[in-house]
Amino acid sequence: MKIVVAIKQVPARDSLLKVNAEASWIEDSDLSFEINEPDAYALEAGLQLKEKEGGEVVVLCAGPDRATQTIREALAKGADRAIHIEVEETSAGDPLVLSRLLAKALEAEQPDLVLTGLQSDDLGYGQTGVILAELLGLPHATLIMNVETEGAGIRVRRELEDGWFQNVDMPLPALLTIQSGATKLRYATLMGIKKAKTKEIKLLTADELGGVSEPSITVSRLYVPPKTKQSQIFDDAPKEAAAKLVEKLRFEARVI
């Protein structure tokens, strides 16, 4: 089984974020970066399937040159090889533009299964996986917690609301977006880190894939929401004032 896992490099969760001088995005010159958390769970799901069914896991990543570090980490955990689409951060942030590049890169791979994280930690659109499935003409399912082979296809477990789950049988090839927390993540071993240095990373440029298409999303301005303080005084009797306070806390502040 050939499994392709799409991953993204994002700023580390404990980073102190600042808006850049152009107010177009965050200032990333002094940030540290890591693999997008939902993508880490997608990688783990792919590696577990490979261990059960055999085959290979191919990592696919679109991003600037620094994304090589995150790709190497995925290879150290057990992925067999990788494809790195070198593209500017601004282009990789648009889900439609990104999906078109990923789809073009996958034409030569013909994978049995494509896995992505449910959404990215930085932008959080949650659209790349489903757009990619549409471009590839693949059946897809989202919010996946578990994947198992079932005959010539797969059976997936989807997370629904209020603690409910849905089991779905799907044909292959297919695309799945994996939910965070689906399983326990593995750490890269020392041997895995050594092997990762010799594993193949195929470099592709946007021009080789037909170029970057016109963006479907544009950011006019990025800014930190202003902090404001507001006081409300209830002059009613204690019982009525308490009822109003509870209503404000529940429906406006949403803390109870």
Boundaries of every domain in the chain: 2-209, 226-256
97-143 residue pLDDT tens: 999 999 999 999 999 999 999 999 988 899 999 999 999 999 999 99
Query: Spelled out in words, what is the top-level CATH class assigned to the domain 2-209?
Result: alpha beta
CB 63 within 8 A of CB 101: no
Per-residue pLDDT of the chain in tens (256 residues, 90 and over written 9): 999 999 999 999 888 888 888 888 888 888 899 999 999 999 999 999 999 999 999 999 999 999 999 999 999 999 999 999 999 876 667 899 999 999 999 999 999 999 999 999 988 899 999 999 999 999 999 999 999 999 999 999 999 988 899 999 999 999 999 999 888 999 999 999 999 999 999 999 999 999 888 888 888 888 888 888 778 888 889 999 899 899 888 888 778 8
Q: What is the pTM of this model?
A: 0.85
The total number of residues shown for the chain amounts to 256
| End-to-end Cα, the chain, rounded Å | 48
- Report residue 150 as tokens: 């079932």
63 contact partners, CB below 8 Å, separation of at least 6: 8, 9, 70, 84, 85, 86, 87, 89, 92
